[in-house]
Chain A
Amino acid sequence: MYIPVNEVQKHFKSETPMMSNITHKSDQWSPYHDNSGTVLAIGIPGAVLVAGDTRLSNGYNILTRDATKLSQLTDKCVLATAGQYADFIALRKFLQQRLQLYEFQNEVQASTQTVAHLLSRELYSRRFFPYYTFNLLAGLDENNHGVVYGYDAIGSYDQMTYGVQGSGQELVVAVLDNQLKGYNKINKTFPQTQQEILDLILDCFSCAAERDIHTGDNVEILIITPTGTERIVKPLRKD
């Protein structure tokens, strides 16, 4: 950082600049850490597929290769979060507690739409010290169609058919735009079966792991259907 000649007086105590005179702005402590990673969710009629890699990092270091970014909140919906892991845990705990209370009071589990709104309100309640979380809420709606809600850190949300969050977001979402919506696609053929979507998800994560240093190790996929939840774990690049 350079100091303009006519402002030298402001920065140095004496006329001659010496190392001891130079005041540095000290590194401010930050309450936020980005543990990175990538999550994605795709909704199809009759099911929703949610996936997240299992690597937690801090800068250039790996904290663990084995942490889940997915949390099943009700029989029908799953929260997938990229960002700060501590805030993910805090947010998940709050939602689990609040949803159990909802179940006691209403004698039925909260619908996906209800959970989506609850999450938005909770995120906004921390508008001035936000949860450092970039969330996807994926679930089955009242007609058992897969829906995905995407959030920013302070709770703005919208319903989508597919969503990606995290460090590999830009890499992966472009692929999904092409494969699922047909943007910039010459041969407009779309994946039809659940297995094809699953293969697409695995491919997306493999691609992200190639280029994004924060994504890798394993990908964990949850498939939510009206009959239950299936969990698949596949390995990814470990470098």
Chain B
Amino acid sequence: MLKHLYDTDCVTWSPQGKLFQVEYAMEAVKQGSICLGLKSNENVVLCSLKRQPSELAGYQEKQFKIDDHMAIAIAGLTADARVLCKYMRTECLEYKYTYESHHPVGRLVFKVAEKSQHKTQSGAKRPYGVGLLVAGIDPNGVHLFETCPSGNYYEYKCQAIGSRSQAARTYFESWFHLFEKSTLEQLILHGLSAIKKAIMEDEELNEKNVEVGILGKNLKFTHLNAQELRDYITKLEQFSPNSQIQQE
């Protein structure tokens, strides 16, 4: 396929009906380090693996609070993610100022998707190179959304994006039927188990390279601190989803 004939800009279709620039943008998401999210009836948990560009550098943050009831985990170009993060935060603040209530999650995700879509229909712009997992709680319930550079968005029970995310998704496919009724602790352990499937053989999870954010109906978004992460990673060794089935 003579891709290079049709991939110069967003305003050129390929004969197969693809916009290659948008597809290339989605590749940028697949190159980012893994982040995943999973939800129960009461809580949403976001787990991500933080990358360290070199020994001298810090670890790149992957999760950002948008408002008390909403947070995102990013995979892809961090700079693009910051732009979307700022947009989402401003929208939430304005909504809270006008309506004295929290921005409905789906509505905000839609706004982000719309913003992303504009970038795919112009000769002078490029799509955002970042995928977001948006975790949020509103009167409609507990939500987890994924947004794409293409401008599409989907709601999920659990999802993983970024490099080697297929391994995490496979874990989810086996166990997601347990998530609905899981406690917060079980949800966190499932998330960490899924991330463990996606790391390289010589890597290991520790409190520096893993980031866990939790959100609940009565729980504002918080990150687990270093001590809590260490405790959960230790508990991970004893954890098996089978034991959860036996409890029920």
Q: Do A and B bind each other?
A: yes
| Measured CA separation A101–B89 after assembly (Å) | 8
Report whether A104 and B97 are in contact in the complex, using a CB–CB cutoff of 8 Å.
no
- Write the residues of chain A forming the contact surface with B, with a CB cutoff of 8 angstroms: 93, 97, 100-101, 104
Chain B min CB distance to A72 (Å): 15
Chain B contacts with A in 68-111, Cβ cutoff 8 A: 89-90, 93, 96-97
Report whether A97 and B97 are in contact in the complex, using a CB–CB cutoff of 8 Å.
yes
Which residues of chain A are within 8 angstroms of B97 by Cβ–Cβ distance? Answer: 93, 97
Measured CB to CB, the nearest residue on chain A to B65 is A104
| Measured CA separation A93–B99 after assembly (Å) | 11
| Measured CA separation A100–B103 after assembly (Å) | 15
Measured CB to CB, the nearest residue on chain B to A93 is B97
Q: How large is the interface on B (under 10, 10 to 19, 20 to 34, 35 or more residues)?
A: under 10
What are 10 A-B pairs at a CB distance below 8 A? Answer: A93-B97, A97-B93, A97-B96, A97-B97, A100-B93, A101-B89, A101-B90, A101-B93, A104-B65, A104-B89
Which residues of chain B are within 8 angstroms of A101 by Cβ–Cβ distance? Answer: 89-90, 93
| Measured CA separation A202–B116 after assembly (Å) | 58
A to B contact number (C-beta, < 8 Å): 10
| Measured CA separation A104–B93 after assembly (Å) | 11
Chain B min CB distance to A11 (Å): 50
| Measured CA separation A101–B88 after assembly (Å) | 12
Closest 3 CB pairs of A and B: A97-B97, A97-B93, A104-B89
Which residues of chain B are within 8 angstroms of A104 by Cβ–Cβ distance? Answer: 65, 89
Chain B contacts with A in 166-221, Cβ cutoff 8 A: none
| Measured CA separation A104–B65 after assembly (Å) | 8
Which residues of chain A are within 8 angstroms of B93 by Cβ–Cβ distance? Answer: 97, 100-101
Measured CB to CB, the nearest residue on chain A to B68 is A100
Measured CB to CB, the nearest residue on chain A to B94 is A97
Chain B min CB distance to A110 (Å): 15
Chain B min CB distance to A92 (Å): 11
| Measured CA separation A93–B93 after assembly (Å) | 10
| Measured CA separation A100–B68 after assembly (Å) | 11
Chain A min CB distance to B105 (Å): 18
Which residues of chain A are within 8 angstroms of B65 by Cβ–Cβ distance? Answer: 104
List 5 extra interface pairs beyond A101-B90, A101-B93, CB under 8 A.
A93-B97, A97-B97, A100-B93, A101-B89, A104-B89
Chain B min CB distance to A7 (Å): 54
| Measured CA separation A154–B69 after assembly (Å) | 36
Chain B min CB distance to A96 (Å): 8
Which residues of chain B are within 8 angstroms of A97 by Cβ–Cβ distance? Answer: 93, 96-97
| Measured CA separation A83–B96 after assembly (Å) | 25
Measured CB to CB, the nearest residue on chain B to A100 is B93
Measured CB to CB, the nearest residue on chain B to A103 is B65
Chain A min CB distance to B88 (Å): 10
| Measured CA separation A235–B93 after assembly (Å) | 36
Chain B min CB distance to A174 (Å): 39
Chain A min CB distance to B41 (Å): 29
| Measured CA separation A100–B90 after assembly (Å) | 10
| Measured CA separation A101–B65 after assembly (Å) | 12
Which residues of chain B are within 8 angstroms of A100 by Cβ–Cβ distance? Answer: 93
| Measured CA separation A209–B216 after assembly (Å) | 44
Chain A min CB distance to B101 (Å): 13
Which residues of chain B are within 8 angstroms of A93 by Cβ–Cβ distance? Answer: 97
| Measured CA separation A104–B86 after assembly (Å) | 9
Chain B min CB distance to A220 (Å): 21
Measured CB to CB, the nearest residue on chain B to A94 is B97
| Measured CA separation A104–B66 after assembly (Å) | 9
Chain A min CB distance to B86 (Å): 8
| Measured CA separation A100–B96 after assembly (Å) | 11
Measured CB to CB, the nearest residue on chain B to A104 is B89
